[in-house]
Structure 1
Amino acid sequence: MTTTVRQILQKKNIQKIITVSPEQSILEALGLMAEKDISAVLVTEGERLVGIFTERDYARKVVLKGRTSKDTKVGELMTQNLLTVSPSHTVDDVMQIMTDNRFRHLPVVEKGVLMGIVTIGDAVKTVIDQQAETIKALSGYISGEMSI
């Protein structure tokens, strides 16, 4: 059985989605990311998802362009027009979208409501867990300890 994004979010058991506003400084966003030990933060205006700001955005859009983190707003450099997934998407869908588009974070939105974020690490861990379960079931079947 393939794991859904909803199941991944449930396993993560995140109580609060970490977000910043477009008006916050890059420095504030980086401070929050460091405090929470995350590599991306979702950008919202009220309840509406408007972008994402990642370590990659920082490296390519701040440092390399000679901007300052203190004086630049998140809204100026965030990635907009995001691809999102719904809780009913599968881990296979997530892996395919991330691979095809070369990014590591996917916001999860259901009926216009931000539900969380799924990372490449979440997806890889889920696939590894699925493979371990399959191996365990097959080993049990081969040894005659259980049926599939």
Structure 2
Amino acid sequence: MPRIVELLVSPLHRYEGRPADGPAPVPDGAPDDELVGRIAVRARLGITGDRYFGKTAHRDAAVTLIASESLPPGVGLIQVRRNILLQGVDVDSMVGRTLTLDSGSGPVSFEVRRRANPCAWMDVVIGPGAFRALRGRGGIRCVPVNDGELRLGPVDVVTS
């Protein structure tokens, strides 16, 4: 059965500048852990509290998803900086489709606009060769179609 394994809400960009300099630290006053148990999704805006929420430049890419099967053991959303980590769902094959997830609070639909290509940061935060290994498996960038909530655990998945 498909599952939502991790959820990430980050109020800031952590991968800015040169990868060799390392990720930006979590600023004072920010939550210590960007991994959460549930997220609130808003139609056409993104995830409440996330760095891309309501940003014009990210209107076609407000929410990112990746499959756990694409990642090496022990690697999760903290490293790849996607919002939703799904297990048992081939998200990379869904570009151009609508993906609907229901974790028990009602369906949340996403228009899958494009791939979320990996960047050079992957070689720094995961390990040498990760950037190349994630090509074509870096997840997807989506626009939420409706308001809703998603939480960790089993999820019903419908595509159209």
Establish whether TM, by shorter chain, passes 0.5: no
TM-score, normalisation: structure 2: 0.24
Q: Which has the larger radius of gyration?
A: 1
TM-score, normalisation: structure 1: 0.25
**Bigger proportion of residues as helix:** 1
**Which one has more relative contact order, counting CA pairs under 8 Å at least 6 apart?**
2
